[in-house]
């Protein structure tokens, strides 16, 4: 099952996946600016990167993605990966694509791979636990919005 780095011509597919994920999570009105996303991913100073997973039974058909950026741990003195979003289209689930995307991320750093998950997502929690991922006890998430 191929996992590959996204390229500039994948911007529409990436945005479609993000919008589909939003609908899956109950946010039906998300519409992304493809040009802006293209600049952030493939412009002169990229801010993030994307892995795409292709459907095992339909080569070339994008089944899911992992949207990532690099982070850095001062205490470990090495880079890691922040996984901002991972999504497999429902019709392509149960083929190991999520596991394959995460394995690719794990192979790209000897640092931490970190992400967030909604607290009530029991299926995802079981999946991540099956990978050996652990919750980060004792930490709270903060968000500082503009304005």
pLDDT surpasses 80 at 1? no
Given the residues 49, 70, 82, 128, select the one marked as catalytic.
128
Region of poorest pLDDT, from 73-77, 87-91, 137-141: 137-141
Between 2.40.110.10, 3.40.190.10, 3.40.630.30, 3.40.470.10, what CATH number should domain 3-131 receive? 3.40.630.30
Q: Give the pLDDT confidence of 38-63 residue by residue, as tens digits.
A: 999 999 999 999 999 999 888 899 99
Q: Please give the mean pLDDT across all residues of the chain.
A: 94
Kindly state the tokens that stand for 144.
Answer: 């500082």
Reported pTM? 0.92
Domain spans of the chain? 3-131
Tell me, yes or no, if 128 is annotated catalytic: yes
């Amino acid at each position: 099952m191929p996992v590959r780095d996204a390229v500039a011509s994948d911007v529409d597919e990436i945005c479609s996946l993000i919008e589909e994920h939003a609908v899956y999570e109950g946010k039906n009105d998300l519409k992304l600016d493809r040009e802006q996303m293209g600049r952030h991913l493939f412009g002169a100073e990229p801010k993030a990167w994307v892995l795409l997973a292709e459907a095992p039974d339909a080569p070339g058909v994008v089944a899911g993605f992992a949207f990532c950026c690099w982070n850095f741990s001062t205490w470990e003195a090495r880079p890691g990966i922040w996984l901002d979003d991972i999504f497999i289209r429902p019709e392509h689930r149960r083929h190991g694509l999520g596991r394959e995307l995460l394995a690719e991320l794990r192979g790209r750093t000897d640092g931490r791979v970190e992400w967030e998950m909604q607290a009530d997502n029991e299926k995802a929690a079981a999946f991540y636990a099956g990978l050996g991922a652990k919750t980060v006890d004792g930490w709270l998430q903060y968000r500082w919005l503009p304005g």
